[in-house]
Every structure is written in structure tokens, then in C-alpha cells.
Structure 1
Amino acid sequence: MKLNELQVHTLSPEDLLLVLCVHAAKHVWRRLSWVRGPGT
């Protein structure tokens, strides 16, 4: 992905889901919507 003409690395959808699940678990799943993708 490019941002202001610079190449930046992003997580794959699968890795992003894992990161979001771990983050949500740290907050005891207070907001289930945190694991929803931005495209849903």
C-alpha cells in the first residue's frame, strides 16, 4: 500500500483479525464491534 508516495506494509486480513481478537480479549470483549472489519 502507498501512503504519500511511500510504500508501507500492512497486515493481511487474517493477521489483522488475530490482532483485533487479542486486543478485544484484553478489554474483556466490552465491544464486540472491535473485531468487525471496516468493510462490514
Structure 2
Amino acid sequence: SRADALETFVTLEQHNDDMGLVRGWLERADDKLDRLIERGR
């Protein structure tokens, strides 16, 4: 039904937001690691 399709779409959008947050967090963690490695050399 149309309501089901809308529900699925909203859920996917929410999932994409979550993935964006995770990706951003991973990128920041990666930057921190790079800096630690540079400092350790």
C-alpha cells in the first residue's frame, strides 16, 4: 500500500542519516589516527 511505501522510505531516510553520522565519525577517527601516527614517527 501507499502508506507502507512511505513508511519504508522514511525508514531508509533515517538509515541514511545514521550512516552519514557513522561515516562522519569514522572520518574524524581516521584523521585522529593519522595525527597520532605522524606524532609517533
- Give the structure with higher Rg (CA): 2
Q: Greater RCO between the two (CA within 8 Å, min separation 6)?
A: 1
- TM-score, length of structure 1 as denominator length: 0.42
Higher share in strand: 1
More helix by share: 2
